[in-house]
C-alpha cells in the first residue's frame, strides 16, 4: 500500500473539508468536471495545498473512496451486530445499500469512475485492489463470526461469499444511480433471495 499512496499526510479538520468538498463536487459535476479549483474554493483552502498533499486529482479521489470505505466498514459492523438469523443479516446488507444510495450516492459515483481510471493507471488500480481487499476481508470476517456463532451457514469461504455479495450490491447500485426514479424494491428482493443460496439459515 505504501508504494501506491501519497508521501505526505494530511489529517484533521482541513483534510476532512477537502475530502468532503471533492465528494460534493463529484455529486454536482462528476469526477471529470471536478477540478482542484472547484475543490479548493469549496473547501476554503488554496489550490496549492491540494497539489502539495495529493499531487493529482486521482489521488484525491482515491482518498475520498478510502475514507468512505472506512465508513462503509463501520456501517457494516453496526448493521450486522447482534443479527440472529440469515434473513436479518441479508436484510441488514440490503438496507445498508439503500442507505448509502440515499445518503451518499457520490461514494458509488467515485468508485465507478475510479474503476475506469484504473484500466489505464496502474497506481489507481493498485489502490482500488487494496480498498477492495480491505472491505472484502472485513465483511468476510463478519460473516465468519456469524457462522462460528451458529447464526448462519455459508455456501463457501467467507471472503468468497463477501466478494459475491459486494458484486451484487455494486451492480445494483450502478443501475439505481442510472435510473433513480425506478422502483428497485423487486430487484432488491430478488437479489436477497439469490443471496440466500450463499448465506443460509442454520
* Span(s) in the chain for CATH 1.10.10.60: 7-55
Q: Cα–Cα–Cα angle for 103, 104, 109, nearest 5°?
A: 145
CA–CA distance from 4 to each of 1, 62, 100 (Å)? 5, 10, 27
Summary mean pLDDT of the chain: 88
Q: Among residues of the chain, what percentage have pLDDT more than 70?
A: 95
Q: Name the fold adopted by 7-55.
A: Arc Repressor Mutant, subunit A (1.10.10)
Q: Report the C-alpha gap between 174 and 137 in whole angstroms.
A: 22
Q: Report the C-alpha gap between 126 and 58 in whole angstroms.
A: 12
For the residues of the chain, what is the DSSP string, one character each?
Answer: -GGGS-SS---SHHHHHHHHHHHHHHHHHHHHH--HHHHHHHHTS-HHHHHHHHSSHHHHHHHHHHHHHHHHHHHHHHHHTT--SHHHHHHHHHHHHHHHHHH-THHHHHHHHHHHHHTT-HHHHHHHHHHHHHHHHHHHHHHHHHHHTTSEEESS-HHHHHHHHHHHHHHHHHHHHHSTTS--HHHHHHHHHHHTTTEEE-
* Span(s) in the chain for CATH 1.10.357.10: 58-201
Confidence of residue 77 (pLDDT cuts 50, 70, 90): very high
Amino acid 123: pLDDT: 81
What are 140-162's pLDDT values in tens digits?
Answer: 999 999 999 999 999 999 999 99
Average pLDDT for residues 54-65, to the nearest whole number? 86
Of 139, 129, 128, whose CA–CA distance to 161 is shortest?
Answer: 139
**CATH, range 58-201:** 1.10.357.10
Four-CA torsion 75, 81, 86, 91, nearest 10 degrees: -40
Confidence of residue 1 (pLDDT cuts 50, 70, 90): very low
Count of C-beta atoms within a 10 Å radius of residue 8:
9
**Which one is predicted more confidently, 11 or 103?**
103
Amino acid at each position: 500500500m505504501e508504494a501506491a499512496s501519497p508521501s505526505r499526510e494530511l489529517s484533521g479538520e482541513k483534510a476532512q473539508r477537502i475530502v468532503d468538498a471533492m465528494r460534493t463536487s463529484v455529486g454536482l459535476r462528476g469526477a471529470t468536471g471536478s477540478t482542484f479549483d472547484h475543490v479548493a474554493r469549496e473547501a476554503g483552502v488554496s489550490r496549492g495545498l491540494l497539489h502539495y498533499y495529493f499531487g493529482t486529482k486521482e489521488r484525491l479521489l482515491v482518498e475520498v473512496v478510502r475514507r468512505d470505505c472506512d465508513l462503509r466498514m463501520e456501517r457494516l459492523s453496526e448493521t450486522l451486530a447482534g443479527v440472529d438469523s440469515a434473513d436479518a443479516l441479508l436484510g441488514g446488507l440490503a438496507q445498508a445499500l439503500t442507505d448509502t444510495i440515499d445518503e451518499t450516492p457520490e461514494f458509488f459515483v467515485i468508485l465507478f469512475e475510479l474503476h475506469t481510471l484504473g484500466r489505464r493507471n496502474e497506481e489507481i488500480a493498485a489502490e482500488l485492489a487494496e480498498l477492495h481487499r480491505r472491505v472484502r476481508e472485513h465483511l468476510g470476517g463478519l460473516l465468519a463470526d456469524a457462522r462460528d456463532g451458529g447464526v448462519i451457514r455459508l455456501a463457501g469461504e467467507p471472503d468468497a461469499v463477501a466478494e459475491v455479495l459486494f458484486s451484487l450490491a455494486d451492480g445494483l447500485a450502478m443501475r439505481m444511480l442510472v435510473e433513480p426514479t425506478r422502483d428497485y424494491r423487486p430487484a432488491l428482493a430478488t437479489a436477497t433471495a439469490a443471496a440466500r443460496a450463499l448465506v443460509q439459515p442454520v
